[in-house]
Structure 1
Amino acid sequence: MNKLLLRLAKLLALLALCLLIYLTRPWEAVPAAWNPWAPLSVEHQLTPVSRWKLSRLKLAPEQCRNALATAPDNVLDYMPLEDYSPVEGCPLENVIRINRTDVAFNSPFTISCPWAVAWIMFERNELQRLALIHLDNQVKRIDHYGSFACRNVYNREEGRRSEHATASALDIASFELVGGERISVLRDWARPGESKAGDFLRAFQDSACDYFGTVLGPEYNQAHANHFHLDTSNYGFCR
């Protein structure tokens, strides 16, 4: 009888604990950027949890569009696109057309939704903060060399497809600041401490590595001497 009462008491205690957890909902007190069950928003700070959510967007187009929709209207001017094949052999899926974000671009570009979410988060958390720290200014416009190109890596006849073939990469060449000053990757990349512009470019690359799977810059090889390549493949490949 005593054993039966002890088991009953343990069961009642467990039920009471479950009820308490249900009523108090402690998971709701966890910040959304740290909550594995909270939908990703572009307003979230980068945490190990939000970084994990970013990495999952490739496999979840609907979640990606929902995350993109959390951007304020004045932060992202874009057009969702249907899946299509602009060039035979290079179908595009889950892509959008970006006209501008919180900064202007030299031209609109088609890019994958996961890339766009990573960029908006990076832009809101890091880009202007780094510009203020290193340049005492803000970025007004970004010049790029394009996102989509139906080709293999380095335009080789054989080998794996470039991330540009799925519009999952953008090549960034320069930054125009408020007031008109231009920071060029080709001209202003320098060793640490040599110039404010060079320090900004290095800080940009280092921070972008937290948001994008692959970031390549001038020290990777000669082909990247004049731009940063940002794409959503792999994770943590930063050169």
Structure 2
Amino acid sequence: MRAVRRTIGWIVGIAIVGVLGMMLWASLRGRPQDLPWAPLDLGQPIGMFTGRKLTALTEDFPQCRALLDRAGVRYTVLPPRKGEGQCGYADGVRLADTGARRIAFTPSGLGVACPVAAALSMWEWDVVQPAAQRHFGARVASVDHFGSYSCRRIYGRDAGNWSEHSTADAIDIAGFRLTDGTRITVARDWKGDGAKAAFLREVRDGACTLFATTLSPDYNAAHADHLHLDQANRGATGWRACR
């Protein structure tokens, strides 16, 4: 019995040291989101658990809206929508093209599920704009996209799993337009060693820290002209895809 208590004591002690170590590490890095229990804040630097916290917002529309409000993201709530099968959403928002979000989306009037809007905002602030400044010395003025909500199964098949587009939990990014007039497209600029290709890979890699799924031309031919970003809620496993 004494040996059992001693073993339990060692386990508890190691756990406490581990927690304290995580707290110290997160503090030194200046990234509270490295801690799994730290509340999500869209204004904080991206941490180890930011992506999982964003995905968890698929179950909490009021919290997601509160986070957008706190971060100054301008949006309007969309009425619930119901379509065939599992198609539809009850957490849709339409992003405004002004305010704390300075990137416009083309076509305008983009509507997405709230967790996608939250991740897109952080992607802009922490990934896209810094990458554009590094590679081109300019800001991104707008993002070209192929849309979000689409009532269909994966790859448009007649059977099989429903796409995350069917609940507006996905968006397909086609390219970027900079303030100096430069245009960058996934279809034309993904391959190569130039600044445009490096920029696209950097924003793809950054998206992997924020979205549950990030798919690029490196994945397959179906994604040759866009980046697929989604917030698929995969339950307890929480596995993430980055290709």
Q: TM-score range by the shorter chain?
A: 0.7 to 0.9
Q: Is the Cα contact below 8 Å between 2:50 and 2:209 reproduced in 1?
A: no
Partner amino acid, structure 1, of 2:66 = N
Aligned to 1:69: 69
1:88 to 76, 80, 84: 84
Gaps of 5+ in 1: 1-25
1:54 alignment counterpart: 54
Structure 2 equivalent of residue 17 of structure 1? none
Unaligned 5+ runs, structure 2:
1-22
8 Å Cα contact 1:210-1:236 kept in structure 2: no
Query: Counterpart of 2:180?
Result: 179
Bigger shift: residues 87-96 or 201-210: 87-96
1:221 corresponding residue in structure 2: 220
Alpha-carbon distance in 2 for matches of 1:221, 1:52: 25
- How far apart are 1:35 and its partner, in Å? 6.1
1:160 to 2:161 alignment: yes
**In the superposition, relative to structure 1, how do residues 197 and 172 fare at CA in structure 2: closer, same or farther (>3 Å)?**
same
Task: Determine what percentage of the aligned residue pairs are the same residue.
Answer: 39
1:99 and 2:96 equivalent? yes
* Structure 2 counterpart of 1:196: 195
Q: Is the 8 A contact 2:35 2:48 kept in 1?
A: no
User: Per-residue displacement from partner, 1:59-83 (whole Å, max 9, x unpaired)?
Assistant: 22221111111122xxx33111232
**Contact 2:214 / 2:242 at 8 angstroms: preserved in 1?**
yes
Query: TM-score, normalising length from structure 2?
Result: 0.78
* Structure 2 match to 1:211: 210
What is the distance in 2 between the residues matched to 1:103 and 1:210?
20
SS of the residue corresponding to residue 150 of structure 2 reads: coil
**1:18-46 alpha-carbon deviations (Å, 9 max, x no partner):** xxxxxxxx9xxx77545666542210111
After superposition, the C-alpha distances for 1:139-197 in whole angstroms (9 at most, x for unaligned) are 00111010011000111000010010000111111100012110011111124xx1000
> What pairs with 1:35-50 in structure 2 (closer than 5 Å)?
39-50=39-50
- What secondary structure is seen at the aligned counterpart in 2 of 1:211? coil
Matched-pair contact (CA < 8 Å) for 1:78–1:98: yes
- Extract structure 1 runs of 4+ deviating beyond 4 A: 34-38
Aligned length: 207
When Rg is computed on C-alpha atoms for both structures, the one with the higher figure is 1
TM-score using structure 1 length: 0.79
Q: Comparing both chains, which one has the higher relative contact order based on Cα–Cα distances under 8 Å and sequence gaps of 6 or more?
A: 2
Q: Distance between the aligned counterparts of 2:176 and 2:35, measured in 1? A: 34
Q: Work out whether residues 88 and 168 of structure 2, in 8 Å CA contact, stay in contact via their aligned partners in 1.
A: no
Match of 2:144 in 1: 143
